[in-house]
Amino acid sequence: MKKTFTLLFTLFCLVNVAFAQKPDRIKLEFQYIKLPKVPFPGGERTFKLEGEAANKEEVENLLANWQAEKDQIDLEYETAIENKKDEIEAYNKKKVGERLANAALGVKAPSLDQVVKKPYPAKPYVPKVYDAMALANQHVEIEGLVRDENSSTTLKFVTEGFKYHDYGIVGDSLYTASYEASNPIKLVALTSEGQELYSLHFKSSDAQKFTWGSDTNKYKLKLEWKKQRNNELSTKEEQLKNNALFGVKFTLNDYYGYTQTKYKDDLWVGKSKKLDYSKQQEAATIANEGYFMILRPELYEKATEKLTQAIGIWEEELKEADKSKKARISPKVQASLHYNIAHAYLWMNNFEKMAEHFVQISMIGEGKFERKMKSLERFAKGYRTRYDAYQKALAQQKPIALD
């Protein structure tokens, strides 16, 4: 009897599962324009490009100071030679007896050989002064923006120059040369009046610590570091510059660009051999048409009409919502419809309505769609941040180019 009951219960569960309604996934993939993090005032989409090597004067001063130290050494040496010549002349005018007496006392006769010239200071490492405009032309390419010499917004590509600090030889028993270096690059957005709008620093050019060589003999390593230091710094300068430039295009487009971006998600349609979900299939087809129009601004109004039409069908379907798993609009199907609607409202930029349907998904408590909802929420957060920034920029007064 017990076995019979168990078998009947198992069959009941299988039948119940077989008739439980569940949604079917339809893959969704389309292109959209990803708005910039930092749009220009008025939503302007042109810019004028400039380049600036900010370290040019610094490098010139570095070389001038080094040359000045050498010149000072030369001057001191020439002065000492002239003084010594006067001393030799005065000495030669002395009587022979006086000179012999001085010699007996160990006083040497003056000579030019006694003048020793100080050694020149070692030439400092001289950072490169880059052709910033050439680098700008090569690396500044922003999707959705056009270069225009008459633009009211200027993007200035600034190479700040290689900077380093030598910590010398460090260690206890095994020694190494230690130094810190950076090669910062930034992009500054300016109005036509020179007012700074934004300043974007490329983090890949930030200061980093490095080590060179290793030896148990501290003084041997110190001598070797002195010989190889400039070669090492030159290599590191180029490496840091390339690291910074590598990410320039991506970073600029992320902050200022209007980038065509691929988006993937799912639409959901009820599935059953016995029940009719043709209306949901129709809504999915209409919504898919709308999503494909989103890429083109001139079709955006038409896209929202399509999505609104699809939402109407999904909401009509939800009127048959039932808590039974066997119902045509079962809890799982309900959650899928709320997800479809929330997704459509996101792309219509109606974030409040989207949130309302997220609440409905949470209340239904279907784990699969709760997880999908959280993933969509994360995307929507970044999407809305960019959308709000763009709306704020549109409300700002567009910079006026000076004649």
Greatest CA span in the chain, whole angstroms? 146
Q: Where are the alpha helices (DSSP H) in 2-55?
A: 2-19
- Give the Å distances, CA to CA, from 309 to 263, 266, 280, 289, 358: 22, 18, 12, 11, 20
| Beta-sheet pairing, 153-159 with 46-53 | parallel
**Length of the chain in residues, anyone?**
403
Q: Given a cut of 50, is residue 395 above it in pLDDT?
A: yes
pLDDT value for 205? 67
Q: Given a cut of 60, is residue 10 above it in pLDDT?
A: no
DSSP secondary structure string for all residues of 12-24? HHHHHHHHS-EEE
Reference 377, options 350, 351, 340; nearest CA is 351
- Please give the DSSP secondary-structure letter assigned to residue 298: G
Judged by average pLDDT, the poorest of 1-5, 57-61, 200-204, 214-218 is: 1-5
Reference 245, options 120, 379, 134; nearest CA is 134
Q: What are the tens digits of pLDDT across the range 383-392?
A: 999 999 999 9
Q: Where are the alpha helices (DSSP H) in 49-106?
A: 56-92, 96-104
Q: What are the tens digits of pLDDT across the range 125-156?
A: 999 999 999 999 999 999 999 999 999 999 99
Q: What are the tens digits of pLDDT across the range 304-356?
A: 999 999 999 999 999 999 999 889 999 999 999 999 999 999 999 999 999 99
Reference 167, options 181, 182, 150; nearest CA is 181
Q: Residues 393, 39: contact at Cβ < 8 Å?
A: yes
3-state secondary structure of 262: strand
Structure-token match 């070669």, residue found: 231
Higher pLDDT, 10 or 293: 293
Query: What does the mean pLDDT of the chain come to?
Result: 89
**pTM of the predicted model, to two decimals?**
0.78
Average pLDDT over residues 83-102: 84
Q: Given a cut of 50, is residue 216 above it in pLDDT?
A: yes
